[in-house]
Amino acid sequence: MPAAAKLAVDTINACGGVNDKPVTLVSEDDQTDPTAGVAAMTKLADVDRVAGVIGSFASSVSGAAVDIAVRNKIMLISPGSTSPVFTERAQKGEFQGFWARTAPPDTYQAQALAALAEKRGYKNVGTVVINNDYGVGFEKAFVGSFEKSGGKITDKSNPVRYDPKAATLDSEAAAAFAGKPDAVAAVLYAETGSLLLEAAYKQGLMEGVTLLLTDGVYSEDFVKATGKTTDGKSIIAGALGTVPGADGKALADFTTIWKEKTGKEVTVYVPHTWDAAVLLMLAAQAAKANTGEGMLAKFEKCLVPPVRP
């Protein structure tokens, strides 16, 4: 994702920049942690005096950083914060327009995951989620959608939500797979999600149960971290899931540029990051003002890509 933002900035600068000035990209690592995210956002606002910010990926971090952006009139656009909480807060006017996203909210993705579970014939599904805006928001939307289609949530009376900073997750794994579910919808981050699924495997809980995963763990690193079975297969072999997709006439052109510059395939959230960066720069250019308020004036709507199973 940072590489996609840099490529967008380099491309615009090669065309003369924004309003005849080069764009400067300042990168900060929020460590997928709200506290670190607040520190990073504060530095960007007070020290670097930026006009716009691409990020954060994690909903929990964006939720903590957005108030700083609003106070400082910085346009904050996330390529990956999908929690429905942002829609609710925006409708209340809390952001004053200074927040947008290029990824769809989890109200969409949760419906897609529930539809996938129904299509596969799963009647009883357990849930386990990371205890933050992303996990809990997704869980609520999934439960509502799955129950509407006639499904049953095995742990609805006592939902399993784990600490984002947990070092061990044995009890959470046991609770999620209790009740003999056909599948378990696991809304995780890669770092801790791998611990949870490894714990479930070691307890012998995963046999005959399908994992339903989401975008938070869509990476090769997650697959490697979860490890393999005794016969050499991935612990999560056979898992199903959903991720926000990308589409549109420009995607083929972007894919060509991306492969030429990086030698890599276009993965999830790379197009969303490119779009977020380009939208900030186009808004400033259209406003003829390299300021957050200038960008805000031109942000009339946010692009929402589809979700694909």
Q: What are phi and psi of 89, to 5 degrees?
A: -70, -35
> Over the stretch 242-290, which tens digit does the pLDDT of each residue have?
988 888 888 999 999 999 999 999 988 999 999 999 999 999 999 999 9
Q: Are both 264 and 283 inside the same structural domain?
A: yes
Q: Are both 254 and 151 inside the same structural domain?
A: no
Residue 10's domain comprises: 2-103+246-308
Q: Are both 12 and 57 inside the same structural domain?
A: yes
Q: Which residues contact 169 (CB under 8 A, 6 or more apart)?
A: 162, 192, 195, 196, 199
Among 216, 237, 258, where does a domain finish? Answer: 237
Q: Are both 117 and 231 inside the same structural domain?
A: yes
Q: Are both 178 and 116 inside the same structural domain?
A: yes
Q: In Å, what is the CA distance from 48 to each residue of 41, 42, 77, 178, 184?
A: 10, 9, 17, 50, 44
Q: Are both 207 and 150 inside the same structural domain?
A: yes
The number of domains in the chain is 2
Q: Are both 37 and 80 inside the same structural domain?
A: yes
> Over the stretch 166-211, which tens digit does the pLDDT of each residue have?
999 999 999 999 999 999 999 999 889 999 999 999 999 999 999 9
> Over the stretch 13-57, which tens digit does the pLDDT of each residue have?
999 999 999 999 999 999 999 999 999 999 999 999 999 999 999
Q: Are both 155 and 112 inside the same structural domain?
A: yes
Q: Are both 113 and 98 inside the same structural domain?
A: no
Q: Structure pTM?
A: 0.83
User: What pLDDT, on a 0 to 100 scale, did the predictor assign at position 244?
Assistant: 85
Among 237, 260, 290, where does a domain finish? Answer: 237
User: What pLDDT, on a 0 to 100 scale, did the predictor assign at position 281?
Assistant: 97
Written as six digits, the tokens of 59 are 């909903």
Write the CATH number for 84.
3.40.50.2300
CB 50 within 8 A of CB 283: no
Among 212, 237, 262, where does a domain finish? Answer: 237
CB 234 within 8 A of CB 206: no
Q: Are both 229 and 273 inside the same structural domain?
A: no
Q: Are both 233 and 139 inside the same structural domain?
A: yes
Q: Are both 158 and 226 inside the same structural domain?
A: yes
